[in-house]
Amino acid sequence: MMVQTFLIKYAEIGIKGKNRYVFEDALVSNIRRAMDRVEGTFAVTKEMGRIYVHAKSEYDEEEAVEALQKVFGISGICPVVIVEDTGIDNLAAEVVRYMGETYPDRNLTFKVNARRADKHYPLDSMELNAVLGEKILEAYPEMKVDVHNPQVSLVVEVRSRIYLYSEIIPGPGGMPVGSGGKAALLLSGGIDSPVAGYMIAKRGVSIDAVYFHAPPYTSERAKQKVADLAKIISAWTGQINLHVINFTDIQMAIYEKCPHDELTIIMRRYMMRIAEEIAKRSGALALVTGESIGQVASQTMQSLACTNAVCTLPVFRPLIAFDKLDIIAVSEKIGTYETSVLPYEDCCTIFVAKHPVTKPVLKSIEKSERHLEGVIEELVQKALETDEVLVIG
Ligand code: ATP
Ligand code: MG
């Protein structure tokens, strides 16, 4: 039996009133975009505060469900059977057929859970539960009623038409991307930053990404790897404008003029400054990184404080308290891990000092950066001007 229609459930907490429309409209358009990538034709409709996906052609159910499971804001995906309201006898026959086809095994406990959005229906919910339950028992004596803890809860929702469903496939939860503004993700080729982007997008935030590369020290393949990671997370985050920034001259200048034990921190401060400029130009309201306390020298509390000091926009670090293993588990779940661990060089690893400071002092970092004055301003301008934007997803 091919599912003709899916009812899309979403969490309604916190989206009452005016926000509800913003939330629902973003969700509908994100579902449409996701279904455009699935083979077949689908209509996504919003009817009386409910969202449905109707199949208009043959399609692969697994592929469709997988696509819907990547749309943030969906809490559940229910395959439904729609019955025209032509009287209780017809409804009972359809309910019996539904139970027989959906549960060919038949050894189960169930309850009927009727709901009337249309109060004009001649039977009330209690009566519907009783009548339909009885018909099911008559047709399939192996099935048993259990009103407290049934294996199958059959929802019969009476609207202008009648909707039958009993299965809720879990959705990804979260908020529809685009309903919560935009942020700029510092995306490297590592494990952490793609996960950070995924997590922020889950809260409804759309994403632009910034990648710093250092040709010829970093290769085209390293850049391609970042584009590949952006492509993987774009299944959740939606389209990503990936800004590729040539960082070589800035990195060289820092290398020549600043103490080597402070290289990483100073470099990261310039990354943040440039990312912030890109964020502002593209209307992003915050920066996002994959940093986690203590993971490396540049992510101690002192280092994070020094890096943060150059930013005026909020910097979100969704992984700040995550252990590496927990981050890896998410990256495996979202499919970025295998790409992240490909061994291409990263611009940070090429100029790293043997003994980087782990407790940098802001005053000292700022003093070192003064050696760059007169040179760095132009290099930053040039890096911003030569920004290459790849549209991903
Ligand atoms: P990741 O696994 O995300 O690469 P990491 O453990 O390698 O993180 P760092 O290299 O210290 O950690 O980077 C910390 C954060 O800074 C990254 O999560 C990312 O947000 C940002 N970042 C680092 N290098 C780059 C880069 N070349 N381009 C863009 N962002 C970067
Ligand atoms: Mg990295």
Q: DSSP label at 284?
A: -
Neighbours of 388 (CB within 10 A): 12
Residue from 193, 245, 296, 345 whose mutation best tests the ligand 1 pocket (most atoms within 8 A of CB): 193
CA of 204 to the centre of ligand 1 (A): 23
Torsion of CA 251, 255, 256, 258, to 10 degrees: 110
User: What is 5-170's CATH topology?
Assistant: VC0802-like (3.30.2130)
* Ligand 1 site, residue 186, Cβ cutoff 6 A: yes
* Ligand 1 site, residue 230, Cβ cutoff 6 A: no
How many angstroms separate the CA atoms of 106 and 142, rounded? 6
* Ligand 1 site, residue 194, Cβ cutoff 6 A: no
335: left (phi over 0), alpha (psi -120 to 50) or beta: left
By alpha-carbon position, which residue is closest to atom 17 of ligand 1? Answer: 290
Please, what is the end-to-end C-alpha distance for the chain in angstroms?
Answer: 33
How many angstroms separate the CA atoms of 213 and 124, rounded? 66
Report the SS3 class of residue 62. Answer: helix
Instruction: Tell me what pLDDT residue 15 has.
Output: 66
Instruction: Tell me what pLDDT residue 189 has.
Output: 93
By alpha-carbon position, which residue is closest to atom 7 of ligand 1? Answer: 190
- The tens place of each residue's pLDDT in the chain, 393 residues long, gives 689 999 999 976 656 677 788 889 999 999 999 999 999 999 999 987 789 999 999 999 999 999 999 999 999 999 999 999 999 999 999 999 999 999 999 999 999 999 998 788 899 999 999 999 999 999 999 999 999 999 999 999 999 899 999 999 999 999 999 999 999 999 999 999 999 999 999 999 999 999 999 999 999 999 999 999 999 999 999 999 999 999 999 999 999 999 999 999 999 999 999 999 999 999 999 999 999 998 888 889 999 999 999 999 999 999 999 999 999 999 999 999 999 999 877 766 667 777 888 999 999 999 999 999 999 999 999 999 999 999 999
Instruction: Tell me what pLDDT residue 48 has.
Output: 78
b/e burial code for range 300-311 (CB count within 10 A of at least 16 → b)? bebbbebbbebb
**CB of 242 within 8 A of CB of 211?**
yes
Instruction: Tell me what pLDDT residue 18 has.
Output: 75
Strand partners, 7: 52, 78
Instruction: Tell me what pLDDT residue 1 has.
Output: 67
Burial class (CB in 10 A: 0-12, 13-18, 19+), 62: exposed
By alpha-carbon position, which residue is closest to atom 6 of ligand 1? Answer: 192
Residue from 192, 199, 224, 327 whose mutation best tests the ligand 1 pocket (most atoms within 8 A of CB): 192
| Token pair recorded at residue 177 | 């991307």
| Region(s) of the chain under CATH 3.40.50.620 | 182-392
How many angstroms separate the CA atoms of 349 and 330, rounded? 24
Instruction: Tell me what pLDDT residue 118 has.
Output: 72
Instruction: Tell me what pLDDT residue 377 has.
Output: 98
Query: Cα angle at 336 between 330 and 339, to 5 degrees?
Result: 140
How many angstroms separate the CA atoms of 177 and 14, rounded? 16
**CB of 200 within 8 A of CB of 185?**
yes
φ, ψ dihedrals at 134, nearest 5°: -60, -45
b/e burial code for range 314-344 (CB count within 10 A of at least 16 → b)? ebbbbbeebeeeebbebbeebebbebbeeee
| Region(s) of the chain under CATH 3.30.2130.30 | 5-170
**Strand order, beta sheet including 315-316:** 315-316, 287-288, 182-186, 206-213, 240-246, 388-392
**CB of 348 within 8 A of CB of 319?**
no
User: What is 182-392's CATH topology?
Assistant: Rossmann fold (3.40.50)
CA of 188 to the centre of ligand 1 (A): 5
Instruction: Tell me what pLDDT residue 349 has.
Output: 66
Spatial CB neighbours of 114, under 8 Å, sequence gap ≥ 6:
125, 126, 128, 129, 132, 155, 156, 157, 158
- Closest C-alpha to 129, from 153, 105, 159: 153
Instruction: Tell me what pLDDT residue 317 has.
Output: 98
How many angstroms separate the CA atoms of 176 and 31, rounded? 9
Helix, strand, coil percentages, rounded to 5, for the chain: 45, 20, 35
